[in-house]
Chains A and B, each alone.
Chain A
């Protein structure tokens, strides 16, 4: 039985700069995988390759055993099954919170307006944002915007959720509310991939931690294996630097 989502021998270079070098990671259903690594280690590029925003240089990406990176696959159809949230919230400024969330269900999944709004309202009230439904994004705090962005991503009922440094632009209090939402989604069984610098959160939520270094999977394992017993010098250096910066 193969994993829900598989990255196999993925390679990607920009010009002569090799960013991902033979990366292979399995993402089992209902698991949370945290990807750590220094800036420039290839985290973001990997995330962008996973939802096909970047063309692969080599290798393949499988969703439910189907190669979604094969030539001729309907990328739009695949992407609606992969939820993505990024550091810059990218909410649509000309739409209310409710319309931001219902846009994709209505246009992509052809949901009726009332049904989409019922769905959106139930998601918003579950995460204590129901009173913001009619607001426009610029009136929300960063944490609220990012929570809305995550809700928008899960409203299409994706099979897997990619979260790329979703808290990097937020202050600690706002980070906490975003992380709570992510934990709740995890407890509901959402499969997720999280690239983050929040190591405390990584320890708590991760089923597995992957350390990327120079575009390669340098080390991977359970949070305790990675954080408490790092094997390679590179990972030790990385954790040491985080420790010095007070991030661990």
Chain B
């Protein structure tokens, strides 16, 4: 015998469909109203025409796009390198901070000082110290390219943030998991690798990706060292025309660059929530 939905169920599903159509309509109407108000306020402002001319000029936007996009390629190279090393160092520092052996005390201390220092220092200051200070030392074998040193500065700062996120993940794994692994005879490091870290990293993936999105955007700061990235390229254009539209073009490209990662983060968070609900944690 096949199942036929009851009249009651059909009625309930119908009501749900109608409510969902109504919500869609309300969302649409409120979005339109909101957009209308914003547009009215902005275009009604006294200086609107002037701001429009100096920030939203289509002609300058088109002219600036090739060189700004070319600069963005540099940002891409920098951030891929930086993301790789940030994750690597962040992981190592986090592990160093969560060790308990007395022999490793100096490493723990060093890792703690490092994270305290670089989480506190403004990124701009680190960029200037590394980018201008290190070449000033005149050590031959250290490259003095703005791109390399800018990347180093980004890695120094962001490794500290990422290390703290990963550490929170490691400490958030239930201690009984560690005990269960040790009880099975796994060594300290086997426990970390096979039991603790997989759970820790899964739990902190959303905040971790959040830091990476932030890093992508901050890769634009290497322009202060003179590297011709998207921001710098826009600055060069602006200096010629005294029109700020190129900066806006660079901004738009950075947003486009981060959107895939932010959407991925959202998707991952939703998936984790769904899994927790499926496990009946309520």
Q: Could you tell me if B3 and A59 are in contact, using CB atoms closer than 8 angstroms? A: no
Query: Is A58's CB under 8 angstroms from B9's CB?
Result: yes
Are A58 and B5 in contact, CB atoms less than 8 angstroms apart?
yes
**What is the interface residue range for chain A against chain B?**
10 to 19
| Cβ-based interface call for A248 (8 A) | no
The reply to whether the CB of A70 lies closer than 8 angstroms to some CB of chain B is yes
Q: CA A70 – CA B9 in complex, angstroms? A: 9
> Which residues of B lie under 8 Å from residue A57 when comparing CB positions?
9
Most buried by A among B12, B15, B19: B12
- With a cutoff of 8 Å between Cβ atoms, the chain A residues found around residue B15 in the complex are 71-72
How many angstroms between the C-alpha atoms of A69 and B11 in the bound complex? 12
By the criterion CB–CB under 8 Å, are B6 and A58 in contact?
A: yes
- Contact status of A71 and B19, CB under 8 A, knowing A11-B3, A53-B282: yes
- Whether A58 touches B19, Cβ cut-off 8 Å, given contacts A11-B3, A53-B282, is no
A9 contacts B by Cβ under 8 Å: yes
The answer, yes or no, to whether B16 is at the interface (CB within 8 Å) is yes
Please classify the interface of chain A as helix (H, G, I), strand (E, B), loop, or mixed, using the class held by over half of its residues: loop
Q: Which residues of A contact B6 (CB under 8 A)?
A: 9, 58-59
Q: Which residues of B contact A60 (CB under 8 A)?
A: 8
Return chain A residues, CB-CB under 8 Å to B282.
53, 90
- In chain B, positions 159-204 with a C-beta closer than 8 Å to chain A are none
Give chain B nearest CB distance to A43 CB in angstroms: 13
Cα(A72)–Cα(B15), bound, Å: 8
- Bound state CA distance, A56 and B8, in angstroms? 11
User: Which of these, B3, B5, B12, B280, contacts A71 with CB under 8 Å?
Assistant: B12
**Residues of B close to A53: CB separation below 8 A:** 282
Q: What string of 1s and 0s marks CB contacts (under 8 Å) between B10-40 and chain A?
A: 0110011001000000000000000000000
Q: Among residues 43 to 102 in chain A, which have CB atoms less than 8 Å away from a CB atom of chain B? A: 44, 53, 56-60, 69-72, 90
Bound complex: CA of A191 vs CA of B19, how far in Å? 35
- Chain B residue at smallest Cβ distance from A72: B15
Residues in A with CB closer than 8 Å to B16 are 71
Across-interface contacts of B19 in A (CB, < 8 A): 71-72
Chain B's closest residue to A21 (CB) is B3
- Residues of B contacting A58 with CB < 8 Å? 5-6, 8-9
Nearest CB of B to A214, in Å: 15
Contact with A along B248-282 (1 / 0, CB 8 A): 00000000000000000000000000000000101
Chain B residue numbers with a CB within 8 Å of A70 are: 12
Bound CA–CA A59/B10 (angstroms):
10
**Bound form: Cα–Cα A44–B280 in Å:** 10
Task: Name which residue of chain A comes closest to B4, CB basis.
Answer: A58
A188: min CB distance to chain B, Å:
28
- The residues of B that contact A56 with a CB separation of less than 8 Å are 9
Extra 9 A-B pairs, beta carbons < 8 Å, given A44-B280, A60-B8:
A9-B6, A56-B9, A57-B9, A58-B5, A58-B6, A59-B9, A71-B11, A71-B16, A71-B19
What 3 A-B pairs come out closest when comparing CB atoms?
A: A71-B15, A58-B9, A71-B12
